Amino acid sequence: MTGARVSWLNGGAALLALATSIGAAALAGHRTATTATTTATPAKTTTTTGGAENPATVTDASGRRTTVRPFRRIAAGSTVADRLLLDLAEPQRIVALTEFGQRHSLAGYRYGDRPLIKSLDDTESLLALKADLLLVNNYGDQARVARLRESGLAVFDLGEMRGIATLLPNIRAVAALLGDSSRGAAYERALLRRLDSVAAPLLGKKRRRAMYVSIYGDRLFGGTSGTNYHDILAFAGLDDVAATARFQGWPQYGAEELLALDPPLIVTKPGMRRLLCAQPELDRLRACVAADGFVEIAGALLDDPGPAMLDAAEAVFAAAYPGVNQAARP
């Protein structure tokens, strides 16, 4: 059914919608942030024993339990679900992925000719997929998930997408739903190993201090503790200036606040250096004065709170430390 161009708003766009508030979550100081906790509520696996009388279940972010069974027609309603299905599921079990992911993900070529989900509000197209499981990452709109379930869809809510702290539970939940938790565990170990290796070539050298900042209109937005932006900086071997100053989530900065923080390096999206440094007073920022004060990376990478954080961290590291050879990893 090629007409089911079924998509949804990617994590990056959803983050922009939240950018005016400071998130309550914060990742601890460990450079990879893998041991930190946030107030986001990710899905979690709940395994019971006893065979058919007491089968394994997986609890989603809304507290709803799903009994594990041989799901054969699984659809993704978020970019994170897209990537996890592509990496963990047998191809024949994936019946639909998101249109946004196909257009913007580095893994878009792997989507093939599957139907593409354009909107989770298009219930008719979603039902036409005849999926026996729909994976979504919900941003607090429980009414939307309830409507989908009322229409007869089996929906598993993976919860918010904030970076590594929510991605790891999502990996475990998807693997458990697929009936192979060991596959998820191996995937998680490999991902963390590769993330930890990105900045390994620094070999104890001083880490650069940096911030993620973008400008929309005349407003300055950041992404720090408790978000994928912070995780990307940390994995790329950068110290997050905003996190050190106890900012959390997606803060909106005033010009005076940004000048007070005065990060030596700003990580952002293409074209942002020109826009930021053209703002009144901001041309005095150290990052605006220095030739190497900005790292501009494609938004599709920086905004992605899924496994693509590895690609983003590698790109940021290469740009922030041009004289360090990533091939020299220990």
Strands annotated E in the chain: 44-46, 57-59, 65-67, 74-76, 94-98, 116-117, 133-136, 155-157, 208-216, 219-222, 238-240, 252-253, 265-268, 294-296
Residues 209, 191, 181, 165, Cα dihedral to 10°? 10
Reported as a pLDDT band with limits 50, 70 and 90, residue 144 is confident
Reported as a pLDDT band with limits 50, 70 and 90, residue 204 is confident
pLDDT reported for residue 19: 29
User: Which residues, in sequence order, are CB contacts of 216 under 8 Å at separation 6+?
Assistant: 16, 19
* Cα–Cα dist 271/19, whole Å: 19
* Cα–Cα dist 119/302, whole Å: 23
pLDDT reported for residue 142: 80
Strands annotated E in 256-328: 265-268, 294-296
> Taking CA 271 as the corner, what is the angle to CA 231 and CA 269, rounded to the nearest 5 degrees?
15
* pLDDT tens-digit readout, 237-284: 999 999 999 999 999 999 999 999 999 999 999 999 999 999 999 999
Q: Looking at the DSSP assignment, which residues form a beta bridge with residue 240?
A: 210
Residue 85 DSSP symbol: H
Name the one residue in this structure whose structure tokens are 């599957």: 114
Instruction: Identify the residue with better confidence: 145 or 180.
Output: 180
pLDDT reported for residue 243: 97
Name the one residue in this structure whose structure tokens are 């720090």: 224
Q: Which of 17-31, 46-60, 73-87, 150-164 has the lowest mean pLDDT?
A: 17-31
pLDDT at 307 over 50: yes
Task: Judge whether 98 and 78 are in contact, CB under 8 Å.
Answer: yes
pLDDT reported for residue 49: 44
pLDDT reported for residue 42: 65
Reported as a pLDDT band with limits 50, 70 and 90, residue 209 is very high
* Cα–Cα dist 219/221, whole Å: 7
pLDDT reported for residue 25: 29
Find the radius of gyration of the CA atoms of the chain. Answer: 20
pLDDT reported for residue 211: 98
pLDDT reported for residue 45: 57
pLDDT reported for residue 139: 67
pLDDT reported for residue 4: 37
Regarding beta strands 65-67 and 57-59, do their DSSP bridges make them parallel or antiparallel, or are they unpaired?
antiparallel
Q: Which of 32-46, 162-176, 223-237, 255-269 has the lowest mean pLDDT?
A: 32-46
pLDDT reported for residue 328: 52
User: What mean pLDDT, rounded, does the chain reach?
Assistant: 85
* Cα–Cα dist 299/206, whole Å: 27
Percent of the chain at pLDDT > 70 equals 82
C-alpha distances in Å from residue 23, one per residue of 11, 27, 273, 280, 297 = 15, 11, 25, 27, 23
pLDDT reported for residue 212: 98
Task: Judge whether 220 and 256 are in contact, CB under 8 Å.
Answer: no
pLDDT reported for residue 44: 62
* pLDDT tens-digit readout, 219-233: 999 999 999 999 999
* Cα–Cα dist 101/96, whole Å: 11
pLDDT reported for residue 26: 27
User: Once rounded to an integer, what is the mean pLDDT over residues 130-141?
Assistant: 88
Q: Is the dihedral of CA 44, 133, 107, 26 positive or negative?
A: negative
C-alpha distances in Å from residue 19, one per residue of 49, 147, 297 = 43, 27, 19
Reported as a pLDDT band with limits 50, 70 and 90, residue 145 is confident
* pTM (two decimals): 0.84
Regarding beta strands 57-59 and 44-46, do their DSSP bridges make them parallel or antiparallel, or are they unpaired?
antiparallel
* Cα–Cα dist 234/33, whole Å: 8
pLDDT at 64 over 80: yes
pLDDT reported for residue 46: 59
Reported as a pLDDT band with limits 50, 70 and 90, residue 93 is very high
